[in-house]
Amino acid sequence: MNTRRIRTRAISPTHGLGVLVRLRYLAVLAQATTLGIVGLGLRAALPFLPLALLVGFTLATNVAVHAFIRVRRSRPEPVGGHLVNAHSSAVVGVLVALDVVILTGLLACSGGPANPFTVLYLIHVVLAAMIASAAWMWLVVVLSSAGYGLLFFFAWPLPAELGGEGHHGVSRHDLDAHDHHAEMVTSGYSAHLQGMWLAYTLAAISIGASVSWLAQALRLHREERGRTERLLGLATLAAGAAHEIGNPLATIRLAASELDARLRRDGAAPELIEDLDLIQKETGRAAAVLRRMAIGAGELRGEAPTPMTVVALCQRLESEFGRDRVCFEGSGLAETVHWPAEAVVQALSQIVRNGLEAAPHEAVRVTVASHGATLLWSVTDTGPGLGPDALARLGEPFFTTKTGEGRGLGVFIARTLIEHLGGRLVYRRPPGGGTQALAELPVRLAVGGG
């Protein structure tokens, strides 16, 4: 598994934005209901105009974001939605941070730190950890802790109708300033509230970090399961193709071989013999394609690792692409490895083939470096290179930057094979331009390829 993906979110930003909008509608309903009960039922003396304005502002922003979602869905992103996801992630982070500010304003107008609803700060921390990125989550933690702290300096006191007397039923406004016991009650009450603020800050940090880590782990599990399911689908497709095409293809090759032998024996025209040679060559090529499909779909996972030299492996790549197209170098060429040969050749061939297609008139440089128990293969081409979005998506099934015959399965198959063998494959843009594939594999694999 590629640990570099740990930064991804557990819930996609696009889906998370819709969930957040629905939650904000529920929050507005709850806030309006609470204001109605407190104002009309209890007739408490609170600044209802600022409170109503804050609730109305929440509703207005939610309506605007809801409209943004509807417009975006009517115009889907043509390249797969990554730009839309980036916009949605930023909107989610801004909304959660804005809700923290709004909650601070609501609490400031209704008792400050004495308001028991200060616990709602934690909801925003959890939402940011689950939906937004880690950076937004930590920003929400800082904002909520700072907002909670400001309530000690800027807050409308709780009226008597809402229990503003303090924990001991003694009104702080009616306390005798010279009464030592009253001073202790007031001091203890303030210390208790400050302790709650400190406890909240520690809880927000621990809960935010824990939920963020769990959400990221869940995302990794879902991605791994998705890759496995896609691989199983490819295996089924390859098995069906081999069954449906392999048998008639073998019949054609056998008939062409018998016909070729008979024509040569009867002294047929050279043109006919050349045509039969072409048929046999092309059917052999088709059989090789079917074999590559089977390897790519994972049918050779049971192939046992066998000792082989890296030089022999490079010679197989040279025979496939030509010595003038692939240049090998590095300290790892002298290594002996224990690999399932066909699977590794298939994966490396696909990587080299992509490099040659990116720069059709230039050679691809392959550097093999030894790092103890692993070998690092660096395949660098001199093509135009790929942008950040394409590099991030490279390896997804059916994603391709090629025009014409590209199907978007080559890198996916290569990465799946390498990861199954305990390695990893990443692509990057080197400083000199072009594209560089870095394939890391253990020198010795256990029996069964794992």
Q: How is the chain split into domains, by residue range?
A: 3-225, 306-442
Spatial distance between the Cα atoms of 116 and 360, rounded to a whole number of angstroms = 69
Model confidence at 416: pLDDT above 60: yes
pLDDT, average across residues 368-379: 88
Q: If you write DSSP's letter for every residue of 145-185 in order, what string do you get?
A: HHHHHHTTTS-PPPPGGGTTT-TTS--TTSS-TT-HHHHHH
Q: What is the pLDDT of residue 87?
A: 61
Q: How confident is the model at residue 303 (pLDDT cuts 50, 70, 90)?
A: low
Highest mean pLDDT of the ranges 176-190, 229-243, 385-399, 430-444: 430-444
Query: Could you tell me the CA-to-CA distances from 365 to 308, 323, 387 in Å, in that order?
Result: 22, 11, 21
Model confidence at 89: pLDDT above 50: yes
Please answer whether residues 52 and 58 qualify as being in contact, where contact means their C-beta atoms are separated by less than 8 angstroms.
Answer: no
Dmax (CA) of the chain? 128
| Average pLDDT along the chain | 77
Measured distance between the N- and C-terminal CA atoms of the chain, rounded to whole angstroms? 13
pLDDT, average across residues 263-284: 82
pLDDT, average across residues 426-439: 86
Q: What is the pLDDT of residue 60?
A: 93
Model confidence at 174: pLDDT above 50: no
Looking at CATH, the fold of the domain delimited by 306-442 is given as Heat Shock Protein 90 (3.30.565)
Q: How confident is the model at residue 85 (pLDDT cuts 50, 70, 90)?
A: low
Model confidence at 209: pLDDT above 60: yes
Helix or strand (DSSP H, E) at 124: helix 121-131
Q: What is the pLDDT of residue 181?
A: 46
Dihedral sign for Cα atoms in the order 332, 428, 77, 2:
positive
Q: What is the pLDDT of residue 105?
A: 92
Of 26 and 14, the one with more pLDDT: 26
Residue indicated by tokens 């109305």? 56
Q: If you write DSSP's letter for every residue of 344-386 in order, what string do you get?
A: HHHHHHHHHHHHHHHSTTSPEEEEEEEETTEEEEEEE--S---
Q: Please, which residues bridge with residue 427 across strands?
A: 437
Query: Could you tell me the CA-to-CA distances from 123 to 200, 206, 255, 348 in Å, in that order?
Result: 12, 13, 73, 48
Q: Please, which residues bridge with residue 173 across strands?
A: none
Spatial distance between the Cα atoms of 130 and 140, rounded to a whole number of angstroms = 12
Residue type, 291: R
For the entire predicted model, the pTM comes to 0.52
Please answer whether residues 393 and 8 qualify as being in contact, where contact means their C-beta atoms are separated by less than 8 angstroms.
Answer: no
Spatial distance between the Cα atoms of 334 and 368, rounded to a whole number of angstroms = 9
Spatial distance between the Cα atoms of 116 and 130, rounded to a whole number of angstroms = 24
Spatial distance between the Cα atoms of 274 and 349, rounded to a whole number of angstroms = 30
Please answer whether residues 376 and 439 qualify as being in contact, where contact means their C-beta atoms are separated by less than 8 angstroms.
Answer: yes
- Calculate what percentage of the chain has a pLDDT beyond 90: 11
Q: How confident is the model at residue 418 (pLDDT cuts 50, 70, 90)?
A: confident
Helix or strand (DSSP H, E) at 426: strand 424-428
